[in-house]
Amino acid sequence: MADDAAPRMPLLGDKFPEMTVKTTHGMKNLPGDYAGKWFVLFSHPGDFTPVCTTEFYAFSKRDEEFKALDAELIGMSVDQVFSHIKWADWIEEKLGVKVPFPIIADTGDVAGKLGMIHPGLGSNTVRAVFIVDDTGTLRLMLYYPQEVGRNIDEILRAIKALQYSTKHKVAMPADWPNNELLGDRVIVPPAQTVADAAERPKQYECYDWWFCHKELEK
């Protein structure tokens, strides 16, 4: 029987758990210090490892694209803060890119709360991604094994899709904005009544009453 007192990993739609963390940019309060902004918290297995280095290089190169979406990046692993600082210095010196975002030095508490430790894959944090919106609500979670690096374009795409969906109350098709059927068009929520179902084909382009779509609002 599960222990009711044990902390539960947050689920989509939950408020991101409040926590105070030590980072390369000083102490941070999550999600409070990012109130009114979106943020992406992403964990990596360890500093000074090849796949993680390629990811931090890529995230750093795209930092301004995240900021353009009013989204901030936060890295994290169970390494100590001096290791993070030295690794960030190495990336700037050897690869020519400055790491502009904070990196959390976790003791295991954050990783435990967010389900980043998967015992079957070892004792390091997996490659987790948490996208949190401007109200502090967890909107998307992704988990990757240690041997597979993340696609930064997909994370940017997901934020754009979430922000547009939230603002316009629509759904986004596969591979949006380059869907094979709809291009950059968006999906209208299904009708909830018989009367609405009858009106849908008159209001929108539809494959059927339950599958209607419309142009992207610029």
Give Cα 128 distance to the centre of its chain.
9
Query: In whole angstroms, what is the distance from residue 139 CA to residue 130 CA?
Result: 8
Quick one: 164 exposed, middle or buried, by C-beta within 10 A (0-12, 13-18, 19+)?
middle
The angle that helices 50-61 and 81-95 make with each other, rounded to 10 degrees, is: 70
Query: In whole angstroms, what is the distance from residue 11 CA to residue 13 CA?
Result: 6
Give Cα 145 distance to the centre of its chain.
16
The one-letter amino acid code at 162 reads L
Query: In whole angstroms, what is the distance from residue 171 CA to residue 41 CA?
Result: 24
Q: Active-site residue among 41, 52, 73, 182?
A: 52
- The CA-based diameter of the chain, rounded to the nearest angstrom, is 64
Q: Is 212 a catalytic residue?
A: no
Quick one: 4 exposed, middle or buried, by C-beta within 10 A (0-12, 13-18, 19+)?
exposed
Report, as residue numbers or ranges, the catalytic residues.
Answer: 52
